[in-house]
Structure 1
Amino acid sequence: MYMLPTVVDPPGMQGFCDRAVDGIASVFLALKRRPVIRYQRTSDVAKRIAQETARLMYEQESGLFDFRRTENSSLLLVIDRRDDPVTPLLNQWTYQAMVHELIGIENNKVDLMGFANIPKDQQEVVLSSVQDDFFRANMFENFGDLGMNLKRMVDDFQHLSKSSLNLQSIGDMAKFVSNYPEYRKTHGNVTKHVNLVSELSRIVEERKLMLVSQTEQELACTSGQAAAFEAVTSLLNNESVSDIDRLRLVMLYALRYEKESPVQLMQLFNKLASHSAKYKSGVCKFH
């Protein structure tokens, strides 16, 4: 699945489409697959990318993509993200998404220099599914399951540490020395993930993201304007809630109840503006 960005600048449309097609082609060349291509019929951008990708794979470079047929065909589905304004506004609760959203990842590197109590050798860590078995296994796990899996990894490492202290023979010592590089690697990996999950937990508590996310889900999935207005108002008044979370809540409320309760929506706009200089009354503008 290739998700189109929310905003595409018309003058740069061709460049964007070319880059998207090149990226899609690279993925399927690496997978050695030529997919069946489907696109969202109501989106001109999705149609354009799908057609140009099909032209590349089935006409211009058909020989390059002439891989052996498999029993199950691959499917490329091109969807215009602009038809789903809600999902990008929701807080994410899987490991990779939380690190990206709450801490930041750039080129598979996570910068922890601005956080307290992080050892110097752990202030910049690599988070790669290729090199890190734990991350590969848990990158899409929800936060609750992640915590349990991390505890199991820590328990396993503690068991390994205790066994390394019980060296009773030359053979035991030789075995420990031969396994020492792997031991150090495991130690670094455990420390890295404990630090990351600890920081995520701190941010979740500090920003009251459990409460925020509960209200987000109710706005997205359930009805009830009066209860929604009360819940959003309560969170806007909560000093622990961050500016970005306040903005998202008001935007979600606007998407759901703009026509039903314009007066209450304006009240939320004004309350949002009163909490931060980033916002002007009646107009939400986030920098």
Structure 2
Amino acid sequence: MVLVGAVRDYLNRMLTDIPGMKVLILDAQTVGIISVAMSQSELLQKEVFLVEKVDAQSKDAMGHLKAVTFLRPTAENIQHLKRHLTNPKFGEYHLFFSNILKKAYIQILADSDEHDLVQQVQEFFADYFAIDPFHFTLNLSGNHLCMLPTVADSHNSQQACDRMLDGIAAVFLSLKKRPVIRYQRSSEIAQRLAQDSAKLMYEQESGLFDFRRTEVAPLLLVIDRRDDPVTPLLNQWTYQAMVHELLGIQDNRVDLTRLPKVPKDLQEVVLSSHQDAFFKSNMFENFGDLGANIKKLVDEFQQKAQSNQNIQSLEDMVKFVENYPEYRKQHGNVSKHVTMMTELSRIVDERQLMAISQIEQELACTAGQAAAFEAVWTQLNNEKTSDIDRLRIVMLYALRYERESPQTVEQLITHLRSWPSKYKPGLVHTLLRQAGFDKRTGDLYGNRDLFNKARNMARGLKGVENVYTQHQPLLAQTIESIMRGRLRDIDYPFVGNHFQQGRPQDVVVFIVGGTTYEEARTVHLLNATQTGTRVILGGSVVQNSSSFLNDLEEVQRFQ
């Protein structure tokens, strides 16, 4: 369970060791941190009868309840706690913080506890959203700041860097490890974050990070989303990634309120590998296999439903009542997956995504400029092509052929202007300024060095099992280079005098600007096949094509 397990362990200790009826007091971030790791029914089992926001202004005194606070250690939250302690509503207070608590904050809390109600103050390092066992995010507001020079918006940029630093620190503290740190040299913000992480772990809080050393130190690699702008622009065809691309996932929840005739209990559904066994076993399955597996799930449920209808004795009745909660749960789970599969299929047909995805995959994986131009031009002229799909395929073409055929890139951008769209065609130029050939470090198309050219040729000769999922994120190549000891020091230097020899047992890759669920799948598959090395993926947000384009629009305002 790794990350999910680490967060759940903190929450269990926090709630189980305090007996009796409790109120859980959270902030806007810790609400999400808890919700992705623990269900509401589990909280009830731990005698949590009320959940409140720390900034709530309720005046009702409830002295019979114990207040358990789980908050980020921010100046704002300390002020809210000061107000709580000055005019207490609850019988006692147990204060837990999701990250390192400044000594000055501890003094403020001590001075505010005039009624001696604070029973304990502890740091539980769960300052990240553990959305899957090997994948975490920080839900960073203003993620576009990761694309801007730090001078463009210095105050907000500093806040963004501080939040990413807090998240990285919490991950390593919860794993009880101190890494050596590398970063992508071409990225100013990756370098800054890596250097800040090293300063925190090796200087400012060196005692806190002084864990038992392993033969080969863990590795933290900080890279930039802009090094691989292709992955967040592609349509996805595996379950979790596809749902995020077409419906959107936030804190393992999917909002279905905009769908017609959706029952009230399905307007927001949970997609969690921890809470849903079917999702856990199918989250990385492709669209075709998923349909067959959902049909199998429905058939199995129908058989159980028929057996429940055959109630002929008192014993049958007792058995049905005992199994009824589980029956209801299964019914809800089946309805959830059928509803989502139905909606995904409708969107695929409506937007002709199979045809568009084939063009995208060809642009991402194979060379051939003339054929690519013709395919993109034809799709642009299809009236059923949506504005976001037009923009994405032109962007993918521009990234691939910006140097080989700049004039055809301009032709496509000009043609985009003839179609009404909420997106400005100038976003293509913004993308190239941010993530064009000259800005990237990695070998995005496998054509910069002989080794990658040979590997791509081998893949081409072998063929692909599924044309819609043939693309591999650049991250796969980066992790392979780490495993083989081939990650170039000149491109990914170490911070300070901390170097690494040998294959690390733990690798945390943090992507400034956001991860994708396709990359999370890549990490899952690597962890399932590799022995001796565990890879964890994290980032500022989880991107899909819409959020990535929104970030580019925000950046465009500064240019």
Please tell me the TM-score bracket, short chain as reference. 0.7 to 0.9
Evaluate the alpha carbon distance shift between residue 30 and residue 146 of structure 1 in structure 2; reply closer, same or farther with a 3 A threshold.
Answer: farther
1:161 to 292, 305, 308: 305
Evaluate the alpha carbon distance shift between residue 83 and residue 162 of structure 1 in structure 2; reply closer, same or farther with a 3 A threshold.
Answer: same
Given that 2:273 and 2:279 are in contact with CA atoms closer than 8 Å, whether structure 1 keeps it comes out as yes
Structure with more relative contact order (C-alpha pairs < 8 Å, separation 6 or more):
2
Tell me the secondary structure at the aligned position of residue 78 of structure 1. strand
Given that 2:165 and 2:193 are in contact with CA atoms closer than 8 Å, whether structure 1 keeps it comes out as yes
The letter for the 2-side match of 1:170 is L
Q: Which moved more, 1:77-86 or 1:186-195?
A: 77-86
Tell me the secondary structure at the aligned position of residue 130 of structure 1. coil
Evaluate the alpha carbon distance shift between residue 166 and residue 64 of structure 1 in structure 2; reply closer, same or farther with a 3 A threshold.
Answer: farther
- In the other structure, the counterpart of 1:132 is 276
1:7 matched to 2:147 = yes
Tell me the secondary structure at the aligned position of residue 182 of structure 2. strand
Evaluate the alpha carbon distance shift between residue 123 and residue 231 of structure 1 in structure 2; reply closer, same or farther with a 3 A threshold.
Answer: same
2:168 to 5, 14, 24: 24
- In the other structure, the counterpart of 1:113 is 257
1:220 matched to 2:397 = no
1:195 matched to 2:323 = no
TM-score with structure 2 setting the length: 0.47
1:181-192 aligned within 5 A = 181-192=325-336
Aligned equivalents of 1:109, 1:61: Cα separation in 2: 35
- In the other structure, the counterpart of 1:241 is 385
- In the other structure, the counterpart of 2:222 is 78
Q: Between Structure 1 and Structure 2, which shows a larger proportion of strand residues?
A: 2
Q: Which moved more, 1:259-268 or 1:193-202?
A: 259-268
Give the total of aligned pairs: 287
Aligned equivalents of 1:186, 1:69: Cα separation in 2: 46
Shift of 1:250: 0.7
The letter for the 1-side match of 2:385 is V
The letter for the 1-side match of 2:147 is V
Given that 2:184 and 2:222 are in contact with CA atoms closer than 8 Å, whether structure 1 keeps it comes out as yes
Evaluate the alpha carbon distance shift between residue 146 and residue 219 of structure 1 in structure 2; reply closer, same or farther with a 3 A threshold.
Answer: same
- In the other structure, the counterpart of 1:53 is 197
Tell me the secondary structure at the aligned position of residue 254 of structure 2. strand
Tell me the secondary structure at the aligned position of residue 147 of structure 2. coil
Give deviations 1:228-257, integer Å, cap 9, x for gaps. Answer: 011001111112221111001111111222
Q: Which moved more, 1:194-203 or 1:86-95?
A: 86-95
1:37 to 156, 162, 181: 181
Shift of 1:96: 2.1
Aligned equivalents of 1:91, 1:239: Cα separation in 2: 19
The letter for the 2-side match of 1:75 is L
Structure 2 stretches lacking a partner, 5+ long: 1-134, 138-142, 431-548, 554-559
TM-score with structure 1 setting the length: 0.87
- In the other structure, the counterpart of 1:122 is 266
Aligned equivalents of 2:333, 2:420: Cα separation in 1: 39
Given that 2:387 and 2:421 are in contact with CA atoms closer than 8 Å, whether structure 1 keeps it comes out as no
Aligned equivalents of 1:8, 1:157: Cα separation in 2: 51
The letter for the 2-side match of 1:118 is V
Given that 1:90 and 1:216 are in contact with CA atoms closer than 8 Å, whether structure 2 keeps it comes out as yes
Given that 2:173 and 2:209 are in contact with CA atoms closer than 8 Å, whether structure 1 keeps it comes out as yes
Shift of 1:63: 3.8
Q: Between Structure 1 and Structure 2, which shows a larger proportion of helix residues?
A: 1
- In the other structure, the counterpart of 1:95 is 239
